A and B are shown apart, each in its own frame.
Chain A
Amino acid sequence: MEVKKPAVAGTLESSDAQVMIEPGDGKIDLSLQSSVMNQYGRQIKATILETLARLEVTSAKLTVVDKGALDCTLKARVECAVFRSCDASDANIPWGGAVR
């Protein structure tokens, strides 16, 4: 998918993550803050990048502020931000396909 406009998903509540996405310059540019950085930073980063790869996003600027979200929440927030950035978040989501 192509990130077409800036979009946000998620909140700064505990156990959630806020994902901000903007069109990129040909690569994935990730800035990550996390309340559990020392113990889960690498796993969080891997989850975010895997999710983007499944959605075939190759160019985006992402700012993620994580408040201790589980992997399933991280995925949901990244996916929602990407679909919102393409105005495609409301219907016909490929559940079980690119979203899984």
Chain B
Amino acid sequence: MKNAVGREIPDFLLTNGKEVYQGKNYMDGKYIQKASPRTRRCEAPQESKIVASLVDALKACGAKSGMTFSFHHHLRDGDFVVNMVMKAAIEELGLDNLTIAASSLGSAHDPIADYIEQGKVVGIQTSGIRGRMGEVVSAGKLPTPAIIRSHGGRPRAIEGGEVHIDISFIAAPTSDCVGNCRGIGGKSDCGSMGYAMTDAKYADHVVVVTDCLVDFPNMPASVEAIDVDAVVVVDSIGNPKKIASAAARISQNPRDLMMAENVAKVIASTPYFKEGFSFQTGVGGPSLAANLFLEQYMDERNIKMGWAIGGICGPMVELLKKGKVGKVIDVQDFDLDAVRSINQTPNHFEMSASQYANPANKGAFVNKLDFVVLAALEIDTGFNVNVLTGSDGVLRGAPGGHPDTAAGSKVCIIVTPLVRGRMATVCEHVVTVTTPGDCVDVLVTDYGIAVNPLRPDLIECLDKAGIPHVSIEELKDKAYSLVGTPDDLQWEDKVVAVLEARDGTILDVVRKIKPYQLDG
């Protein structure tokens, strides 16, 4: 069945009430039955929940084959915990048929690819998938398709019971002996623990894995002891160098700067750019650099930003400290400046993924967002964006908060170079739709700006400000004139991943790619 972005969704996926994507805000006003976990009472006073090893923790939580384990990705490419837990479960306890439900997975988790090939891991649910795992999943090695959700879609699915977590493993930079966790104060700090919070509330069992045990009570806790069954102390939960970069530096690449300047110009041309406006930006080169130019416009007009959300890094913390932003609400930290600031700098707060972006609660932060600036691997003439699959059709990206912020914000700006090497970023049809075009408003490239025809109000703003813009088709034509028109990718029928829209409908599927024939 074809969905609202023109993608053919196979019928076998449309069971148990699953629908195809119908357009923005389709589920608005509908009711959701929340799931509740089955948890163990700890009525008798307990001195400590520390157990000797991951194996003991798994046993204590009744781990068995066929279960779903959840993880957060705050340790990003430095994470040791996913591999550690899966090794204990599979190699020491002999479990199989396991599903990993993670808020994201990266190249740190390459060893899991082996477990997939061995048939020990049979399900993957995640926001991001890269490295070897992306390759084996793309090669169709999972018996069931991987499920890819946005950062807001994941807590929706957990709260609604679509994902039932048997055991959640929470990597904690610090914990006390009963499981109050924080993202700071240890040796592998990650700052916000926003992506772990829903897991802790909805999992049947929760195991905290830490490398820094601190005195009770570890307050204010990001994950609270009341939800924790066991605490395991290990030598190291991750490589700090890969958890948070030293400092996210603003790009000096002239192309990025030129695009960033145009992003700021577009923002400043709209009526939403006024005292107290709200803002989110990615940490990619041109997105982050937009902060710099935006600040110049804020100074010029003598206005301040009301609040900023998202993954946070140094430049935003700087603005907060300078008093140019009222509040920063933080689901994830990208560099040490942000890690050190959270809950320390006045008005720098932590939030959960659900609070950030869940479309099925009663109003997430993204719903009140004025502007979001995002990157793209590809964007097509319908303004559909792909941030998941590479030009070769292999999984190597993450929707993250992209679809959530795009849908919630008043102005969603995509900033990307027109071509990367020989790849046309602006194209006829994206490989995979990860953010639907009805949520995307403006495209800024190094060769020009295009506004979604669904937003005549913004077209008027740009015209009034004298900002030149062209149709997205013209940008696509320019891209193809530079790099040539690409051949279509050749797919097999087998579906290797299902891309859920943030509301739970099906936005797209990723199929297995056919080996390329040079002489075909």
- Of chain B, the residue at the smallest CB distance from A37 is B516
| Chain A-chain B contacts (Cβ-Cβ < 8 Å), number | 53
Which residues 418-439 of B sit at the A interface, judged by CB distance below 8 A?
420-423
> Does A92 touch B at the CB level, under 8 Å?
no
Asked if B422 and A68 sit within 8 Å, CB to CB, the answer is: yes
Asked if B421 and A39 sit within 8 Å, CB to CB, the answer is: no
**A39 proximity list for chain B (CB < 8 A):** 391-392, 423, 486-487, 489
Asked if B489 and A38 sit within 8 Å, CB to CB, the answer is: yes
Asked if A36 and B391 sit within 8 Å, CB to CB, the answer is: yes
- Of chain A, the residue at the smallest CB distance from B520 is A42
Asked if A41 and B516 sit within 8 Å, CB to CB, the answer is: yes
> Does B483 touch A at the CB level, under 8 Å?
yes
Given known A38-B516, A45-B518, contact A69–B422 (CB-CB < 8 A)? yes
Given known A15-B422, A36-B422, A68-B422, contact A43–B516 (CB-CB < 8 A)? no
Cα A42 to Cα B482 in complex, Å, equals 17
Q: Among A42, A69, A70, point to the contact of B487 (Cβ < 8 A).
A: A42
Q: Among B423, B484, B513, point to the contact of A43 (Cβ < 8 A).
A: B484
> Does A71 touch B at the CB level, under 8 Å?
yes
**A67 proximity list for chain B (CB < 8 A):** 421
Given known A38-B513, A39-B487, A40-B486, contact A70–B518 (CB-CB < 8 A)? no
Asked if A32 and B423 sit within 8 Å, CB to CB, the answer is: no
- Of chain A, the residue at the smallest CB distance from B427 is A39
Asked if B392 and A37 sit within 8 Å, CB to CB, the answer is: yes
**B513 proximity list for chain A (CB < 8 A):** 38
**A14 proximity list for chain B (CB < 8 A):** 421
- Of chain A, the residue at the smallest CB distance from B487 is A39
> Does B393 touch A at the CB level, under 8 Å?
yes
Q: How far is the CB of A17 from chain B (nearest CB, A)?
A: 10
**A41 proximity list for chain B (CB < 8 A):** 487, 516, 518
Asked if B422 and A38 sit within 8 Å, CB to CB, the answer is: no
0/1 string, A25-43, CB within 8 A of B gives 1: 0000000100111111111
Asked if A38 and B421 sit within 8 Å, CB to CB, the answer is: no
Cα A32 to Cα B516 in complex, Å, equals 12
Which residues 40-74 of A sit at the B interface, judged by CB distance below 8 A?
40-43, 45, 67-71
**A71 proximity list for chain B (CB < 8 A):** 484
- Of chain B, the residue at the smallest CB distance from A39 is B486
Asked if A70 and B483 sit within 8 Å, CB to CB, the answer is: yes
**B423 proximity list for chain A (CB < 8 A):** 36, 39, 68
Asked if B421 and A40 sit within 8 Å, CB to CB, the answer is: no
Given known A38-B392, A40-B484, contact A32–B518 (CB-CB < 8 A)? yes
Q: How far is the CB of A66 from chain B (nearest CB, A)?
A: 8
With a 10 A CB-CB cut-off, give which of A14, A37, A38 has the most chain B CB atoms.
A38
Q: Among B393, B420, B482, B487, point to the contact of A40 (Cβ < 8 A).
A: B487
- Of chain A, the residue at the smallest CB distance from B489 is A38
Cα A41 to Cα B516 in complex, Å, equals 9
Cα A38 to Cα B393 in complex, Å, equals 9
- Of chain A, the residue at the smallest CB distance from B486 is A39
Q: How far is the CB of B416 from chain A (nearest CB, A)?
A: 16
**What is the interface of chain A, defined by CB distance below 8 A to chain B?**
14-15, 32, 35-43, 45, 67-71
**What is the interface of chain B, defined by CB distance below 8 A to chain A?**
391-393, 420-423, 482-484, 486-487, 489-490, 513, 516, 518, 520
Can you list 28 contacts pairing A with B, beta carbon distance less than 8 Å?
Answer: A32-B518, A35-B421, A36-B391, A36-B486, A38-B391, A38-B392, A38-B489, A38-B490, A38-B516, A39-B391, A39-B392, A39-B423, A39-B486, A39-B489, A40-B422, A40-B486, A41-B516, A41-B518, A42-B487, A42-B520, A43-B484, A43-B487, A68-B420, A69-B422, A70-B422, A70-B482, A70-B483, A71-B484
